[in-house]
Amino acid sequence: MGDTSQRRFGREHVAPKHPPFLPQPGVSKHRELRFNPTPPGQIERARRLLEMLEGFTVAAGANPHSLLIAYDVTHYTFQGVERALQDQGFHLDNSLYMKFLRALVYFCESTQLRNLRQPERLIKNSHQVYVQAWEQHRHGDHDDTPPELREYK
């Protein structure tokens, strides 16, 4: 990945600009995939598999049972990546802590995608909705007397 969102440390380790499980602005995401220690060799197999994905960056994590991944949330989601790996027989870390973090990341990414798909609102004219509603509402500033019968001084 040629952007400035990560720094390279040698060939094996990529340090993300943002911690992997904290909110990250924009569509570029950096996450940490944590695996169960057994079966042995699954991290290297997962790395080779993920490196084949277009627009996907994979590096060894700080933990010996993890991989750091970087992707564009409009093309991949963390939930999709984890499900695909589990479907291929990989065993992820299923500690209570990781289950909580996964649920939070899944929610944030799905909310961001839902918001990205919404059409933009015309901010300049949004007040017109409230003006029209106010004009239809009976309130103290409204005079029911026809204009021709009002006294003007």
Q: What is the mean pLDDT of residues 126-143?
A: 72
Asked if residue 130 belongs to a domain, the reply is no
Q: Indicate the range of 35-39, 102-106, 132-136 predicted with least confidence.
A: 132-136
Asked if residue 152 belongs to a domain, the reply is no
Determine the angle formed by the axes of helices 96-117 and 78-87, rounding to 10 degrees: 130
Which ranges of the chain does DSSP label H, i.e. alpha helix? Answer: 42-51, 78-87, 96-117, 126-136
Q: What is the count of structural domains for the chain? A: 1
pTM, rounded to two decimals: 0.66
Asked if residue 124 belongs to a domain, the reply is no
Strands 57-60 and 28-34, bridge-based pairing: unpaired
State the pLDDT at residue 118: 84
Euclidean distance between the first and final Cα of the chain, in Å? 75
Q: What is the CATH number of the domain that holds 24?
A: 3.30.70.100
Structural domain span for residue 92: 6-117
